């Protein structure tokens, strides 16, 4: 692939309409989402066809794009339903489809020949020959497997002309690029058809792992009163390696997380927006300031790792004592509007919040402001001192105009 001539795309997850809009407002150049069928996140809210058309129109009004996952490994009954769904996506004016199954690919080529096709990471593209083969089949883009080093990505780029996309942030599956059989065997729910139970995150009660033909050889596992977690990868974070990814020719930098919260999507997208812009402007002197990592720690996440990018993961890439997430801040509200004449900001509650608490606001333009709720009122204008009800509408005094969709956060106080 030729050297990048334009800034890499920031691609963000959209588990529902609100998350999609937030991702675009907070700086994503494109979003990827799943419909009600043929995607690998069956437990996300996902989108009806009319909703896909709506979010596509909204993205296009901002000069941005929408990609739809059609990346299950299909069985016979799936293929029969596929053509009508593909035509619906074309009518919704989506920008590309993400596909992993060669049968789904062939059907899409026949039914919607003008629609751009991207090769999903589920296809496990780990070498240049595979990327070349997909290119010959008409792929506009290949989403690379997570199991590649930066050097391998650079070599693939040098030997192909197809666009390359790579994950830079989010959860890591304990399987080959997400193609997992564990859920199917343990629960009957097929992760390759969208119904993964995340069995790799369950608590397994054991002290050592042993292989039958290697008597006396054990892999020690740490265990506490909560149990042992043997397939519990840390989360991927490659924010420090954006220059190398750009040098390797990666044109789209992807954030994982269609099952994650609005707070997660907006915060992580905001940080990577800053990072990509800074790196593109001056790759040679690019560095990651502490405040970016501080922001990434505010959302629900596991400890961070560089995955396979720098070196093959060792035992330090796993978390053995808990499958719980960690975060430094709670998401407590979202700005829905501002009345400049009366200097009042309107919120929708997302967590119990009280007047006088030290809070902060992250705005869609990236500004971070300290904030305290003063003169709180409910939706009817009555004075209140807290908002305890789920998604309660309330307002507060603010001399400063606050942007719609700003996030209200509170620092977690550990007891």
Q: Is 342 found in the same domain as 298? A: no
CA angle, corner 24, sides to 19 and 30, nearest 5? 105
Structural domain includes residue 280: yes
Q: What is the pLDDT of residues 15-40, one digit of tens each?
A: 999 999 999 999 999 999 999 877 65
Which among 413, 396, 387, 386 is positioned nearest to 361, based on CA atoms? Answer: 396
Residues 390 and 286 both lie in one domain: no
What is the model's pLDDT at position 199?
Answer: 66
223 falls in which pLDDT band (50, 70, 90)? Answer: very low
Looking at the structure, tell me whether residues 257 and 375 fall in a common domain.
Answer: no
Kindly state the DSSP code that residue 154 receives in the 8-state scheme: H
Mean pLDDT of 392-399: 97
Q: In this predicted model, what pLDDT tens digit does every residue of 309-368 receive, in sequence order? A: 988 766 665 665 555 668 999 999 999 999 999 999 999 999 999 999 999 999 999 999
Residue 406 domain boundaries: 329-411
DSSP 8-state code for residue 227: B
204 vs 373: CA distance, rounded Å: 44
169-219 pLDDT, tens digit each = 998 766 556 656 566 656 766 655 556 676 666 665 444 555 556 666 655
Total number of domains constituting the chain? 2
Query: CATH no. for residue 34?
Result: 3.20.20.70
Burial pattern 54-70, b for ≥16 Cβ within 10 A else e, equals: bbbebbeeeebbbbbbb
Quick one: average pLDDT of 52-67?
98
Spell out the residues 6+ positions from residue 85 whose beta carbon is closer than 8 angstroms to its own.
35, 37, 38, 49, 70
Are residues 398 and 303 both part of a single domain?
no
Last residue of a domain, one of 309, 339, 360: 309
Residues 365 and 301 in one domain: no
Buried b (16+ CB within 10 A) or exposed e, 80-110: eebeebbebbbebebbbbbbbbeebbebbee
Given the structure tokens 């550990």, which residue do they identify? 414
Note whether 218 and 210 are within 8 A (CB).
yes
- The answer to whether residues 296 and 349 belong to one domain is no
Residue 218 is assigned to a structural domain of this protein: no
Kindly report, residue by residue over 266-281, the tens digit of the pLDDT: 999 999 999 999 999 9
Assign residue 363 the CATH number of its domain: 2.40.30.10
Q: Specify the DSSP element, H or E, that contains 119.
A: strand 116-119
pLDDT given at position 201: 60
> In terms of domains, do 150 and 18 share one?
yes
This prediction's pTM: 0.86
pLDDT of residue 230: 53
Residue 156 shares a structural domain with residue 74: yes
Answer yes or no: are the C-beta atoms of 326 and 301 closer than 8 Å: yes
User: pLDDT band at residue 225, thresholds of 50, 70 and 90?
Assistant: very low
- Are the CB atoms for 292 and 316 separated by under 8 Å? no
**pLDDT for the residue 255:** 97
Tell whether 15 and 76 lie within a shared domain: yes
214 in any annotated domain = no
pLDDT of 140 higher than 70: yes
Q: Are residues 168 and 83 part of one domain?
A: yes
Does residue 158 lie in a domain region?
yes
In a domain, 358, yes or no: yes
pLDDT in tens, 359-380: 999 999 999 999 999 999 999 9
Same domain, 97 and 132: yes
Domain-located, residue 244: yes
Task: Spell 216-254 as b/e; 16+ CB within 10 A means b.
Answer: eeeeebebeeebbbbbbbbbbbbbbbbbbbbbbbbbbbb
Q: Kindly provide the b/e burial profile for residues 336-360, where b requires at least 16 CB atoms within 10 angstroms of the residue's own CB.
A: eebeeeeebbbbbbbeebebeeebb
Residue 135 lies in a domain: yes
Last residue of a domain, one of 309, 343, 368: 309
The values of phi and psi at residue 167, to 5°, are -70, 135
202 part of a folded domain: no
Instruction: Say whether both 283 and 348 belong to one domain.
Output: no
């Amino acid at each position: 692939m030729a050297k990048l001539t334009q800034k890499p795309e920031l691609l963000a997850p959209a588990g529902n309409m609100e998350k999609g809009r937030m991702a675009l407002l907070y700086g994503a150049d494109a979003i990827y989402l799943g419909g009600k069928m043929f995607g690998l996140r069956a437990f996300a809210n996902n989108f009806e066809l009319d909703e896909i058309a709506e979010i596509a129109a909204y993205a296009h009004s901002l000069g941005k794009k929408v990609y739809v996952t059609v990346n299950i490994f299909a069985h016979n009954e799936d293929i029969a339903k596929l053509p009508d769904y593909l035509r619906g996506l074309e009518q919704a004016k989506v920008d590309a489809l993400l596909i992993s199954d060669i049968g789904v690919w062939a059907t899409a080529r026949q039914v919607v020949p003008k629609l751009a096709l991207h090769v999903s990471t589920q296809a496990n593209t780990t070498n240049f020959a595979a990327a070349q083969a997909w290119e010959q089949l008409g792929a506009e883009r290949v989403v690379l497997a997570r199991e590649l080093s930066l050097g391998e990505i650079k070599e693939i780029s040098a030997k192909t002309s197809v666009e390359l996309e790579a994950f830079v942030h989010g959860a890591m599956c304990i399987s080959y690029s997400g193609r997992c059989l564990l859920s199917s065997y343990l629960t009957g729910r097929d992760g390759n058809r969208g119904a993964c139970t995340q069995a790799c995150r369950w608590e397994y009660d054991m002290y050592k792992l042993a292989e039958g033909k290697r008597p006396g050889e054990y892999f020690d596992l740490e265990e506490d009163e909560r149990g042992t977690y043997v397939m519990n990868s840390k989360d991927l974070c490659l924010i420090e390696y954006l220059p190398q990814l750009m040098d390797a020719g990666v044109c789209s930098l992807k954030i994982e997380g269609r099952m994650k919260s609005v707070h997660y999507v907006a915060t992580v997208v905001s940080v990577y927006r800053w990072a990509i812009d800074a790196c593109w402007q001056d790759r040679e002197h690019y560095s990651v300031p502490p405040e970016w990592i501080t922001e990434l720690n505010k959302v629900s996440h596991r400890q961070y790792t560089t995955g396979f990018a720098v070196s093959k993961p060792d035992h330090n890439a796993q978390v053995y004592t808990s499958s719980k997430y960690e975060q430094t801040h709670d998401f407590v509200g979202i700005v829905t509007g501002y009345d400049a004449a009366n200097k009042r900001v309107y919120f929708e509650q997302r967590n119990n919040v009280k007047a006088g608490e030290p809070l902060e606001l992250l705005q869609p333009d990236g500004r971070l402001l300290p904030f305290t709720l003063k003169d709180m009122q409910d939706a009817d204008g009555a004075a209140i001192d807290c908002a305890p009800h789920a998604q309660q509408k309330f307002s507060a005094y603010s001399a400063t105009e606050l942007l719609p969709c700003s996030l209200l956060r509170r620092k977690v106080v550990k007891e």
